Amino acid sequence: MWFRNLQLYRLPVPWNLTLEQLESQLQRGVFQRCPSNEPMSRGWVSPRGDGALVYAQNRQWLLALCTEQRLLPAAVVGDVVAERAAEMAAQNAFPPGRKQLRELRERVTEELMPKAFTRKHKTQIWINPQQGWLGIDAASPAKAEEVLEHLRWTLDEFPLELLHTERSPVSAMADWLASGEAPTNFSIDRDCELKSISEEKAAVRYVRHSLEGEEIRAHLAAGKAPTRLALTWNERISFILTEKTEIKRLAFLDLLKEEAEKNIENADEQFDADFAIMSGEFGRFLPDLIAALGGETKEAK
């Protein structure tokens, strides 16, 4: 249940969509098993497994998008196509042309698709309609866009905006590293990536390495810019901030998880406690992060 990444977006404050309306509209796009002749299927499932498509607590919501994909490796298709192409060549005394091979590959794919194994993946979405946050537990903007595409298709209206801050993460991270001082409520950890802005795109990565001293400053002076930096907020959440304002490798420190495990008697209570603490921390963590980046703006500068 604990998120490992946050792709962040902005909603109007407040978002004029009630819990009941959201639940009703999500019913349009519920998950259905992948048909035998289709490579993929996606749809909404119950985050808690109780049938409700929206889990709500303390005016914060949790959604879950399930994706089922048929696993049909290109190499497997290629082997069958090669065998049949050889048979066609033997029968006709000449190899099949490009058009015939393309049509053969399509037929083989259609034949093998129903026999392919399937794999499911669930992506969680956190929504705070009071503060206007939508966060997706996805490792990349491309993966998050798959979720947003299904939301746009499902909802009547979806007035989503990108998050823009006064300072770019690259500029802010460079200043923090150059000065050796993290912004208020944050500390700099021991992972960092710097890339050159030249055409060569030279890069250096530090892993579990001290980021203090002249070595880092020399890279900055030579024109390398930080694209990833490990930080900890309030000794409660550690994460990687990227140049695109992505939050990756989220880790809720032991203190928080110990809080969530107090006086828990069953799995439902554990789910409730985990979400309450995680969403509550997000509500405090994100304003501090935005402040560290100079505040929020409506448009990128």
Q: What is the pLDDT of residues 96-153, one digit of tens each?
A: 888 888 888 888 777 777 777 778 899 999 999 999 999 999 999 999 999 999 999 9
Q: What is the pLDDT of residues 76-97, one digit of tens each?
A: 768 877 888 888 888 887 788 8
Percentage of the residues of the chain whose pLDDT score is greater than 90: 59
Q: What is the DSSP string of 180-240?
A: T-PPTTEEEEEEEEEEESSTT--EEEESS----SHHHHHHHHTTEEEEEEEEEETTTEEEE
State pTM to two decimals: 0.84
The answer for residues whose C-beta is within 8 angstroms of residue 2's C-beta and 6 or more apart is 250, 252, 257, 274, 278
Which pLDDT does position 301 carry in this prediction? Answer: 40
Distance of CA 91 to the CA centre of its chain: 51
Q: What is the mean pLDDT of residues 259-263?
A: 74
- Tokens (6 digits) for 271: 């789910």
Q: Where are the chain's structural domains? A: 7-72+116-162, 74-112, 166-297
Instruction: Tell me how far apart the alpha carbons of residues 73 and 104 are, in angstroms, rounded to a whole number.
Output: 16
Amino acid at 198: S
